[in-house]
Amino acid sequence: MSGEVRLRPPATADAEAMLALVEACDATWREWTPAEWEPPAAGSARWVSELGAPDRWTRVAVEGEAEGGGRVVGLVSFGPTRVGPEWRVVPETASVGALFVHPDRWRQGIAARLLDAALAAMREQGYRRARLSTPQGAPAERFYPAQGWQRTGDARWHALLGLATVDYAREL
């Protein structure tokens, strides 16, 4: 097991490490996706640069940090839930848009710690409900219920991922 992990807001210098983290996680999906599935193209997770937007709350999990250094081993981000073609904000509802932990740090409590921090921040910001989506068949479908999330029954095709996703929700 590696060293202690600290949560902090991401720095501009973390963008490439966050992108590499997402790509490392995406590569593990071959273990449970259909044989013909291909991970998104390298660099397609450039959306990580949007995690610093004013309406987003984002934290990274960093190990071995010493004054701005360290290795990014996880990230979580949420923002207001938006629906429909006009991206209408759903009152009092936040959406977790990203939760990733580097595969070499799985099952060490980092994902639960990141998610707990996000839920606490949602409550502090006045949200009453939380939502998220995950690929259908992903190991995360065992993780989220263990963390108190309920599957909503909603599902949709995620074009960038090339996979069906399922939705989860919980009251705060």
Q: Rounded distance, CA 85 to CA 154, Å?
A: 17
CA 12 to chain centre: 18
pLDDT at 1 over 50: no
Q: Rounded distance, CA 91 to CA 61, Å?
A: 29
Q: What is the pLDDT of residues 123-168, one digit of tens each?
A: 999 999 999 999 999 999 999 999 999 999 888 888 777 888 999 9
- Say what the pLDDT of residue 161 is: 78
Q: What is the pLDDT of residues 16-58, one digit of tens each?
A: 899 899 989 988 888 898 888 887 766 555 567 677 778 899 9
- Say what the pLDDT of residue 23 is: 87
115 vs 120, 148, 158, CA distance in Å? 9, 11, 22
- The H or E element containing residue 151 is strand 150-158
Q: Rounded distance, CA 30 to CA 37, Å?
A: 7
Q: What is the pLDDT of residues 47-96, one digit of tens each?
A: 676 777 788 999 999 998 665 568 999 999 999 998 888 888 888 999 99
More confident residue, 158 or 109: 109
Paired with 164 in beta bridges are 157
- Say what the pLDDT of residue 156 is: 85
- Say what the pLDDT of residue 101 is: 96
pLDDT at 2 over 60: no
